[in-house]
Amino acid sequence: MRVYITGADGSLGKAVTQELAADPRTAGWPVLGVSVSDFDIADEQAVAESIAGFRPDVVLHLAAISIVAACQTDVELGLRVNVAGVHQVAEACRAAGSRMVYISSDYVFDGIAAPEGDYRETDTPNPLSVYGLTKLAGEQIAERVPEHLVVRTSWLFGGAAENNDDVLATIRSAERGERQELIDDQYSRPTYTVDLARAIIHLIGLDEFPVGTVHVANRNSATRYELGAHALNAYDPKLHAEHPPTAVSFDDCTFVGGRPKVSALNTDRLAALGVTMPTWQDAVARHCAVLRSETESRRTTV
């Protein structure tokens, strides 16, 4: 299978690229990853030529402005990348006869329609932010590709950048001795990029491509406080004891762009397609082990 990845330098893009290289089931699959340094995803001609040139069986469209506040403060940028960019990729997929996998978000929901969370694929979206609106528009554009798969996921961690990985941000902030306030009454399902990447690889490898929408998230829901405190303790219990995060309430916080208070995704369809996700606690343990070994090898090198 020929796999084309946009946003290959991003958090999820790196995980997908690594997992495709590591998985014996995907050995020999030609993979082309492109990033913003190759071309702007909203550049019609560049996108069309690149996808037509590679002739992918499947395009994993991961490029996006993934920071909620960034879309809210620069609406034009959010629309260009998250809407016009999806349009260019979808058009190129249609022209090349490629399948398209589009990554969407739990932030298409408002947290009101399903107050206990547990949003199903069939529930009605109602985004509260520009980011959520652009992701929903992207879903609708991707759906125009005959063989499309919309993967909604939530609260990714496992990236290389603090601004896009709550686990890493909490650890680094504690190491700097900063006081951290984390919300303890906003719920979703934290998801490890590595586990999401493995699920995507499973889905695209199925004999029958699962057209439609599927929710992919690690098992169990959590608050940002639970995630941060658990991760800090898993990474270094001493660091956690010295710099524990402080729990704050969602209603006491001001956000740039609205957020759903509860947006946990139901993953029954994913299970029916053969994927049982690990718990987020298990995923945090694996991510922290990687972070610890990276820190150790940096210390050894210095």
Ligand X SMILES: NC(=O)c1ccc[n+]([C@@H]2O[C@H](COP(=O)([O-])OP(=O)(O)OC[C@H]3O[C@@H](n4cnc5c(N)ncnc54)[C@H](OP(=O)(O)O)[C@@H]3O)[C@@H](O)[C@H]2O)c1
Taking the least distance from each CB to ligand X, the nearer of 64 and 270 is 64
- Smallest distance from the beta carbon of 132 to ligand X, in angstroms? 10
- The set of residues, in sequence order, having a beta carbon less than 8 Å from that of 32 and lying 6+ positions away, is 2, 3, 4, 5, 54, 56
- Smallest distance from the beta carbon of 153 to ligand X, in angstroms? 5
Neighbours of 46 (CB within 10 A): 16
Taking the least distance from each CB to ligand X, the nearer of 129 and 236 is 129
- Smallest distance from the beta carbon of 207 to ligand X, in angstroms? 26
Interface contacts to ligand X, rule CB under 6 A: 7, 9-13, 35-36, 40-42, 62-66, 81, 103, 105, 135, 153-156, 159, 164
Taking the least distance from each CB to ligand X, the nearer of 14 and 243 is 14
Given a contact cutoff of 8 angstroms between Cβ atoms, the answer to whether 231 and 174 are in contact is no
Length of the chain equals 302
Q: Which residue is nearest to ligand X (CB)?
A: 10
Neighbours of 192 (CB within 10 A): 24
CA distance 12 to 153: 11
Taking the least distance from each CB to ligand X, the nearer of 216 and 243 is 216
Burial class (CB in 10 A: 0-12, 13-18, 19+), 302: exposed
Which residue from 211, 215, 235 is spatially nearest to 284, judged by alpha carbons?
A: 235
Taking the least distance from each CB to ligand X, the nearer of 140 and 237 is 140
- Smallest distance from the beta carbon of 291 to ligand X, in angstroms? 17
- Smallest distance from the beta carbon of 264 to ligand X, in angstroms? 13
- Smallest distance from the beta carbon of 191 to ligand X, in angstroms? 7
- The set of residues, in sequence order, having a beta carbon less than 8 Å from that of 106 and lying 6+ positions away, is 119, 152, 153, 154, 155, 188, 189, 217, 260, 263, 264, 265
Taking the least distance from each CB to ligand X, the nearer of 236 and 263 is 263
Distances (CA, A) of 222 to 154, 197, 260: 11, 21, 14
Which residue from 149, 35, 54, 62 is spatially nearest to 92, judged by alpha carbons?
A: 54
